[in-house]
Structure 1
Amino acid sequence: MKITKLDYEIDSYSAYLQVKDKNTALLESSFMVKDTGDNSIIVFNPQFIVKYEKGHSYINNMLVEKDILKLLDELLMEKKPLNTGLVFDGGFVGYLSYDFGMEIMNVKNNNPINVNIPDVYFAYFEDFILIDHANKCTYICTEDEKVIEKIKGCLYINIDDKNCNRVILRSNFTKEEFKERVEGVREYIRCGDTYQVNISQQFLGEGSLNPHEVYTRFRKVNYGPYNAFLDLDGSYILSTSPEQFLRKRGNLITTRPIKGTVRKSLVYEENKALKEYLYSSEKCRSELLMIIDLERNDLSRICIPGTVKVESLFEVEEYATVNHLVSTIQGKLLKDISFSEIIKGTFPGGSITGAPKLRSMEVIDELENVSRGIYTGSIGYISNNGNFDLNIAIRTAVINDKGVYYNVGGGIVWDSDPEDEYEETLHKGRAIYKALTGKGE
C-alpha cells in the first residue's frame, strides 16, 4: 500500500467529491468534542459489498447462507492489516439498522417500511484518505496516481446550494398524536413496565433532491463529530450525528450516551444559562443515569469483570443547534471476543431505546406507526487492525428517488411533559428542517 502524506488538512467533503462514485462513503468529523471528531475518512474503489436484507445475506448480490454477523466475523478474520499505522487501516464502512437491532433482540417489527434499504450494509475498502484533524495532516492511501494528484491539488469546493430543491415536510404524527404517544409511555411507566422509552416521529419530504447539495447544507448548519455520507447506488444516507455508540481501540471499548437536551443560543450569556439549567436538571440527570446503568450492564457482557467504569458522569457539550448532557463509559474487552459477540451484546444503543431495553423496544414498536430503518442504528467503520468506531444514527436522513425521510425523537420518563417533549424533537431536528425547507434562515 502506497501512503502519501500531506502536511496540511484538506476539506473532507471537497476531497470526497474528487473520488465519489457508487458505493463510496465519507465519515466526516467536522467538530471535535473531547476525544471524538479527530479524523475524517474517505473510502473509494470498494472491493466487495456485504449486505443483509429480507432475512438473507449477500456478497456482491450473491446469496450466502450464513448469519450476517458471523459472515462479517469470517471476513474480518480473512483480511490482514495493511500496516499503515493509522487508526483506520482499510476495512469495512457501512451501517447496522435499528430494524436489524430489533431482530437481534427478538422484537417483531409490526410496522410498515417507508425506506427500502438493506438492514445491514458494509463495503470493503483498501483505498482511502484519512484526514487527521488533531495533527492537521492528510494521508492518501492508494496506488492510484490520478487520485493522489487530485487530492494534492484539492481546494475547497464551494457547492452552489442556493438553488437546491426545497421540500414540504410532513410528519407521521400530528402534534396531538405525538403527545398521546408520550402519555402512552407514561402509562407504561406508571404500570411498572418500563422506566424510560425513546419515542420518535418520522418526517417525509417528497420530491427530487440532489443529495450532494443537501449534504452541503446539512454540514453547514449541523456540523458534528459523527457526520457521514454513504452512496448506496440509488439511495443516500446523510448523517450529522453527535453521538458515539461504540468505539474500540485495542482492547478498550467506549460508549458515550447522550440524554438531556436544551436548545442552543447564539447569545453567550443566554447559552451559558441554558447549559447550567441542563447540568442541574434532575429530570435530565435521572434520564442519563438510567441509560448509564443499562450501558454498564451491556458492556459487562463483553468486558473483563470489574473493568467497566464511568469515566465521566455529567458533561454538558455544545453542538450546532442544541446542548447535550453526556456520559462516557469504558471497559476492557474479553480476550478474543468477536465483532458479532460485541454487537449482539450491546446493539442497539440503550440511549435510543430506553430502559429496560427489550420492553422499551416492544413499546416503541407498538407506539410508533412506521419502521425506523436506519434511524437509531449505527454508521461507521470496522478496520483491518481491529479498531472500529460506530455512531448512533440520529440527525440522519435517507434520500431516494421518492424524496427524503428522517426521524427525531427523545427519551420519555415519568416526569416528561408532552408539550415539552414535542418541542424538544423540533429543536433536535431544526438544522435538518432548515436545510430541507429553507425556513428559519
Structure 2
Amino acid sequence: MNKNLQSILNKYGSLKEPFFFTISYDLSQFYIKPLEELPSDIKFEINEKISSKLSHKESLVKTPISFDKYKKSFETLQNHIKEGNSYILNLTAKTRIETKFSLDEIYEKANAKYKLKFFDKFVCFSPEKFVEIKKNKIATYPMKGTIDSSIENASAKILGNIKEMAEHTMVVDLLRNDLGIVANKIKVEKFRYIDKINAGDKKLLQVSSKISGQLDENWHAKIGDILTALLPAGSITGTPKKKTVEILKENENYDRGFYTGIFGVYDGNSLNSCVMIRFIEKDEEGNLYYKSGGGITCDSNVEDEYKELIDKVYLPF
C-alpha cells in the first residue's frame, strides 16, 4: 500500500478541494493535482451519454505478440488454475501499432465515456467505470465479457455462455468483497447488462454489472483509504486478487504502468473514476503501443483469447 498516495488523497478530500487523479496499476506511480492547477497538456473528458454509432472506419497497422508467445503464457496460467492458485486471471499484452494520428488527434476524435490524454505519454478512451461516489453511496461497475455485435444473436450468445457467466460471476463476487472492505449494505443492483462499444471497424457488446454500498458521512476524508483498498481493480486482475497479481507479474513480460490503473475526478461533492483500458502509450523513441487483454478461466480457448486481445486494439472513431 502506498501511504503517500493515501495521505494526499485523504488531504484533498478532507478539504473538499476538487482534484484530478490518475494511479498506476500497481499503485507505484500517481499524479494528483487540484483542478484549478491542472496543466494544459493533461486533457480529460467524462461523458457517460455517448452514441455507439460509428462515423467512419480507421484502420491500424498492428504488430501483436506472437501466438506462440501468448500461448506459452496462457498455458502457464492454465496450470496455475489447475493447481488452485487462481480461478480467473486477466492476461494482457502490448501490441505495436502504426497510425497517421497523433495522441492529441486520437484524444480529440475518440468517442468514449472516459477520455484522458496525459502529457505526451499516453491516451486512454475507456468504456469502464471504476467507482462512483454520490451522496454517501459508492458503486462499482465491473465489465467482463466481450463479443462482436455482428455475430448472429450476439447478445443471447454471450449472456447464455456458461464460460462467460462463470467469469463474470467470479469478478462480481470479488468486487462485492472489495466494496465490503470500505462500505456497508452491499448489493448487486444490476447483474450482467449489455453496453454497445465502438471498436474501430466493428461494434462490441460488453457485459457489466452494478454493485453498490453505503459509506459513512465523512467519506470525503477517506478517499485515499477507499481507493487504495479497492485497487488494483478486480476486473483487470482476477481472483483471488493478491495471488493472481503475483502470477500475472511473472507471466506478462512487460510493465503495465498506468494501463489498467484508474483516473478520475473529485469535484468537492462526488467522485467519478474509470479503469484505464483501451490504452495507447508512446515510448521514448516515439513508438506507439496499444495494451489490451482478457480474462482467462479453465474453460478459455487460447485461439479465442488471442483473437480477443487483438480485436480490442482499435481507434473508437
Q: Please confirm whether the aligned pair reaches a TM-score higher than 0.5, indicating the same fold.
A: yes
Read off the aligned partner of 2:181 and give its amino acid letter: R
Aligned to 1:182: 74
Query: C-alpha distance in 2, partners of 1:231/1:365?
Result: 24
* Unaligned ranges ≥5, structure 2: 39-43, 50-56
Point out the more displaced range, 122-131 or 388-397: 122-131
Read off the aligned partner of 1:181 and give its amino acid letter: S
Read off the aligned partner of 1:246 and give its amino acid letter: V
Query: C-alpha distance in 2, partners of 1:400/1:192?
Result: 37
1:225 partnered with 2:107: no
Aligned to 1:339: 223
Give matches, 1:146-295, under 5 Å: 169-171=62-64, 173-205=65-97, 210-217=102-109, 219=110, 223-226=111-114, 228-232=115-119, 235-265=120-150, 270=151, 273-295=153-175
Cα deviation, 1:315-355, whole Å, max 9, x if unaligned, reads 12221121111111000013424011101221111010000
Alignment equivalent of 1:329, drawn from 184, 207, 211: 211
- CA contact 2:45–2:116 (8 Å) conserved in 1: no
Cα deviation, 1:250-280, whole Å, max 9, x if unaligned, reads 2100111111111122xxxx55x01110111
Q: Percent identity?
A: 29
Once the 2 structures are TM-superposed, how far is the Cα of residue 403 of structure 1 from its aligned partner? Answer: 2.5
TM-score (norm 2): 0.85
- CA contact 1:208–1:403 (8 Å) conserved in 2: no
- CA contact 1:375–1:406 (8 Å) conserved in 2: no
Query: C-alpha distance in 2, partners of 1:132/1:361?
Result: 31
Query: C-alpha distance in 1, partners of 2:66/2:154?
Result: 28
Once the 2 structures are TM-superposed, how far is the Cα of residue 214 of structure 1 from its aligned partner? Answer: 2.7
Read off the aligned partner of 2:273 and give its amino acid letter: L
Once the 2 structures are TM-superposed, how far is the Cα of residue 379 of structure 1 from its aligned partner? Answer: 1.4
Task: Indicate how the Cα distance of structure 1 residues 168 and 133 shifts in structure 2: closer, same or farther if over 3 A, else same.
Answer: closer
Task: Indicate how the Cα distance of structure 1 residues 201 and 259 shifts in structure 2: closer, same or farther if over 3 A, else same.
Answer: same
Read off the aligned partner of 1:399 and give its amino acid letter: K
Read off the aligned partner of 1:310 and give its amino acid letter: V
Read off the aligned partner of 1:252 and give its amino acid letter: K
1:296 partnered with 2:206: no
Instruction: Give 3-state SS (helix, strand or coil) of 2:218's partner.
Output: coil
Instruction: Give 3-state SS (helix, strand or coil) of 1:76's partner.
Output: helix
Read off the aligned partner of 1:78 and give its amino acid letter: L
- CA contact 2:122–2:280 (8 Å) conserved in 1: yes
Instruction: Give 3-state SS (helix, strand or coil) of 1:99's partner.
Output: coil
Point out the more displaced range, 183-192 or 91-100: 91-100
Once the 2 structures are TM-superposed, how far is the Cα of residue 224 of structure 1 from its aligned partner? Answer: 2.5
- CA contact 1:242–1:319 (8 Å) conserved in 2: yes
Query: C-alpha distance in 2, partners of 1:300/1:372?
Result: 27
Read off the aligned partner of 2:112 and give its amino acid letter: G
- CA contact 1:246–1:389 (8 Å) conserved in 2: yes
Q: Which has the higher contact order (CA 8 A, sep 6+)?
A: 2
Aligned to 2:54: none
Task: Indicate how the Cα distance of structure 1 residues 280 and 93 shifts in structure 2: closer, same or farther if over 3 A, else same.
Answer: same
Instruction: Give 3-state SS (helix, strand or coil) of 2:84's partner.
Output: coil
Instruction: Number of aligned residue pairs: give it.
Output: 298
Give matches, 1:118-133, under 5 Å: 119-126=29-36
Instruction: Give 3-state SS (helix, strand or coil) of 1:202's partner.
Output: strand
1:313 partnered with 2:250: no
Aligned to 1:75: 12
Once the 2 structures are TM-superposed, how far is the Cα of residue 72 of structure 1 from its aligned partner? Answer: 2.4
Aligned to 2:277: 394
Once the 2 structures are TM-superposed, how far is the Cα of residue 400 of structure 1 from its aligned partner? Answer: 5.4
Task: Indicate how the Cα distance of structure 1 residues 206 and 322 shifts in structure 2: closer, same or farther if over 3 A, else same.
Answer: closer
Cα deviation, 1:160-216, whole Å, max 9, x if unaligned, reads xx9x9x985433x31111122111111101001110000011123479963222334
TM-score (norm 1): 0.62
Alignment equivalent of 1:96, drawn from 17, 23, 28: 23
- CA contact 1:207–1:403 (8 Å) conserved in 2: no
Q: For the aligned residues, what is the CA RMSD?
A: 2.9
